[in-house]
Amino acid sequence: MRLTVIGTGYLGAVHAACMADLGHEVLGVDIDAEKIAALGEGRVPFYEPGLQEVLGRAVDSGRLRFTTSLDEAADFGDVHFVCVNTPQRRDSPAADLRAVDAVIEGLAPRLHRRCLIVGKSTVPVGTTARLGTRVGELAREGADVEVAWNPEFLREGFAVQDTLRPERLVVGVQSARADRTLREVYAPLLRIGVPYISAGPATAELVKVAANSFLATKISFINAMAEVCDAAGADVTTLADALGYDTRIGRRFLRAGLGFGGGCLPKDIRAFTARAEELGVGGAVSFLHQIDAINTRQRQRTVDIARDMAGGGFEGRRIAVLGATFKPDSDDVRDSPALAVAAAIHGEGADVRLHDPRGLDNARAVLPVLDYVPDVAKACEGADLVLHLTEWTDYRRIDPAELAVVTRTRRILDARNALDPALWTSAGWTLRAL
């Protein structure tokens, strides 16, 4: 099939490369000419394990091309995937849909035959219906265009695997024809047994925000338990392990620590509450305000414990920060808890030296005031305290005895509960976890 993927950021670049890998003819479209040039040469402009190989293979095969032209896209595609970002609005918790709207306003008047527009971005429930009406107003004579929604569940760091072997496909369609088209797009995945759930657009839109809300709730739940454990002298890691044996609860997303960040979970739960309020059912999801508050509280708790470990204040203290990205195996620092903590202690007068295996450039771009160091030992040189804020495997491999040679004191706060306390304490370190 001939597919276009409009918006070649994180989601779109992965989707375009993977759809070409499945055998489709794919045209990636973006307004950013620089990004399009890089992708056209088979270069991934961000860090995502495994994507480089799939993209390179797809470009070399001739099945994947890139353009900045919506005219070309309109001529080419039987199916147009919309993969632009829907960040939080600056002035409210709601989602900013300007990029999605701009794609529809640009694409719809150019369409001149039968095709399907499929949104993949996370949007407030009701968006597909609204865009369907708008496409009807903008479409040319002879065009036969439907709008469907097919939310994306991929995780950064596992994006290729999540796209080529997803746990499920969810499509929101208004006609049997749109459903058939999407089954054809995903035929190679249906053949390997990936569950396919076909629903109305509103349900599909809601599945996505419900899933992210549930994941956020699990994380904040265990973080709330962690605080109680601290007060009661109990151990949240053992508690989570014991809970995890109950298959109704499951053990994933029960890792207590600094909490969730990134470009999805935080903004999605806020946009969801805003949309629910518009629908008059804000009360039904008001608990999500609490989930958000518990999450933010983890950042403050981390700063408070760090201050305590630094001797009551950060003024004149050198603090080594390990980790800037919102999670390991990503270079993404959007709404990163690690960076928020680093910024807060810098604001209280600390001399912060920050290390991250992949996120230094992005971190420097949003927070230029910190000292960015591409080497763990250098970042920790003369440190009064080490903060472990993102659980990269590299940090678990650190030899505490070797690190002790460069730091001023042996104090570490493991805000991700990922280091081995016995290993660190036996090397003479004072280790605190969340």
Q: What dihedral do alpha carbons 264, 270, 272, 278 form, nearest 10°?
A: -150
The reply on whether position 264 binds ligand UGA by CB under 6 A is yes
Among 46-54, 225-233, 249-257, 341-349, the segment contacting ligand UGA (CB under 6 A): 249-257
Single residue of 2, 155, 297, 432 touching ligand UGA by CB under 6 A:
155
Nearer to ligand UGA, 268 or 384 (CB): 268
Nearer to ligand UGA, 305 or 377 (CB): 305
The reply on whether position 326 binds ligand UGA by CB under 6 A is yes
Nearest approach in angstroms of CB 255 to ligand UGA is: 3
Nearest approach in angstroms of CB 2 to ligand UGA is: 26
The reply on whether position 152 binds ligand UGA by CB under 6 A is yes
Single residue of 77, 93, 124, 257 touching ligand UGA by CB under 6 A:
257
- Sheet of 318-322: strand order equals 371-372, 351-355, 318-322, 385-388, 411-414, 430-433
The number of residues that bind ligand UGA (CB under 6 A) is: 22
C-alpha of 262 from chain center: 5
Nearest approach in angstroms of CB 95 to ligand UGA is: 12
Binding marks (x or -) toward ligand UGA, 96..125, rule CB under 6 A? Answer: --------------------------x---
Nearest approach in angstroms of CB 316 to ligand UGA is: 31
Single residue of 80, 317, 327, 411 touching ligand UGA by CB under 6 A:
327
**Structure-token pair, residue 193:** 């047994």
The b/e string for 10-44 (b: 16+ C-beta within 10 A; e otherwise) is: bbbbbbbbbbbbbebbbbbbbbeeebbebbeebeb
Nearest approach in angstroms of CB 218 to ligand UGA is: 7
Beta strands in 54-143 (DSSP E): 64-67, 79-82, 114-119
Task: Tell me the C-alpha distance between 288 and 212, whole Å.
Answer: 11
- How many CA atoms lie within 13 Å of 18's alpha carbon, on the beta-carbon side? 24
Single residue of 255, 317, 388, 410 touching ligand UGA by CB under 6 A:
255
Nearer to ligand UGA, 7 or 259 (CB): 259
Nearest approach in angstroms of CB 338 to ligand UGA is: 9
175 burial via Cβ count (<10 Å: 0-12, 13-18, 19+) = exposed
Single residue of 12, 261, 359, 400 touching ligand UGA by CB under 6 A:
261
423 burial via Cβ count (<10 Å: 0-12, 13-18, 19+) = middle
Single residue of 51, 111, 154, 370 touching ligand UGA by CB under 6 A:
154
- Give the active site residues: 264
The reply on whether position 153 binds ligand UGA by CB under 6 A is yes
* Pairing state between β 196-199 and 318-322: unpaired
Q: Which residues pair with 54 in a beta bridge?
A: none
Task: Tell me the C-alpha distance between 13 and 35, whole Å.
Answer: 10
Check the CA dihedral 423-425-429-434 and report its sign: positive
**Residues found near ligand UGA in the complex (CB under 6 A):** 122, 152-156, 212, 215, 219, 253-255, 257, 259-262, 264-265, 268, 326-327
